[in-house]
Structure 1
């Protein structure tokens, strides 16, 4: 009840359009001014599909269908729950409210709870009898080069407590172990290659919510490189590992859970989210990046064409796929650096306008020139390399 009262207080005090202006430039959407528009905050959009209804204080995108009020918007863009969104808004607009403790302490308690939840899954151990059984089975029946190489790389594994009733059910399946950071087997994921669009089936049922596929085998590469790739299914995971990007993990349930965020942050603070350009995937990536950022992670987004990673791998082959992903990642990091310098330049411009002495203004303007020269050089490199990568993609994938 107290949260509902607080929500009403925040909604009455904060204007939705003011919050939207923090992220995008708003334009008049109707003659009366009761509707405002901007490019969508959740997906790549040049058509000003995001509509703000001033009177109702609600928003809706005509493309991705994201909708809600000001609290919903902050939840999605900041990556927090409803209560935290209310506190964020109160901080932004200096609204005095009583808080039940420190938010950072609450966040730490939630992470500790996630850790306990994950540790409950780490009680299943490998059994020598089952290993002997698996060696006698033919786990791979197919001619897909990606899976033929990948399933061996990622290792076969099974948890005794989740063994199907009949061993025959395992023949023709690909089984991937899901382990914790110490290598203890928590369960397995099986993929039925002959059934299209069936995707992944996990045992036990909560395995997909509490684990990240491929994490154990990715730990060394993550620690060495300092960042992790996050993909969304086992096929993309296989493609990345076979091409040498062994710092890749997969989230197989569509949305990153608190437990999975906790696992990621144990090993890396920099996460590259790879997603395709379809609107639903862009929205999911936006919300995922927000939740990771709220948990103090540094996120980057690598947006592909409408082809997923496994499709690109099959089309390009290992060498060209490896080149494409490596170059794309490099450019994503350079884009982030450019954004950082743009922010610094804008901050210096504000400081210069507020400066009173000529000496201070001259120093700030000198710093602006230095950053502007860096930006010009970096923009030239980015334009040239993105152009080359686009040509490369069109040559080896589109045609």
Structure 2
């Protein structure tokens, strides 16, 4: 599907009608409001702007156009979302949904994207010699003990193993090491990270990674994303940790919406990956000098990208893996839940912060059109804030005088 065809398809769609198939929308001023389907919304926080063809949730932060909405809610990629928004016999059709109320569209906008083309594009990667070699090396790995019974099932699920001493030439640097298979967000095995078995053996590098290439680029990979992506969508947030073992500990404790940076600095590729699934990030790096320094760099970077970020502290010298092993699964899970509770702002505080920021911006905007757009956003936020007060059986006293 060409860029022009995508633009034509987008122009032909009513984002209100598409989103209206998943949640009930009611007009509020120039916009449409409804319960957000991406989190446990109790009061309408999803705002749909039909004129601009966009949506935004003022509670969880999800936003985008009609393709982004279908991609997120159907849990598919962009091409599949475009396919679902195809035209069938002159009517708007969303696969798997009742289309009897869809509006008629001009026949000239009939656009079809064949699935075979999408599959064919992936054949060179899936059937490449390197992919075959990766799978062969994975099959050679020996069972690896986690040293903790509560962690072992998760290690098995992620395919962690120990490399034997006799391996093909390509993998000789990884022999006799603890090996973590690395998959991309689609689940393809793109490489490995091999850790030395003992930290006492400091004359050897701690980690050895697969060679950087077409498939394996650490700056574009988040360890555990394939296993975590459904949980991230469900929870509306993601834990960002430092290492491979930290991801395994978090998943074992029930926090399956956790990914790691694969031992590298936060890059634009990582941010792009995160934004596909959520705009809420909980940074929980190691509680040491290096971890704190990395956190100090990551938090403002993510905030600058428009994401909501909180720091989750750990006891001095600990990381998620060491704390899990020290406390045990239940106590560790309780610790993380309490740490999140202490830093997580209430919905009312989030909305109040947005209103205050909007009022501050308003004083510096002179153009009439921009002021009107900003006032509409402030009106939506204020309506949500009053709704939260009413739900809590408190007087809806919040108005402009309190900002």
> TM-score, normalized by length of structure 1?
0.49
More helix by share: 1
Of structures 1 and 2, the one scoring higher in RCO (CA 8 A, sep 6+) is: 1
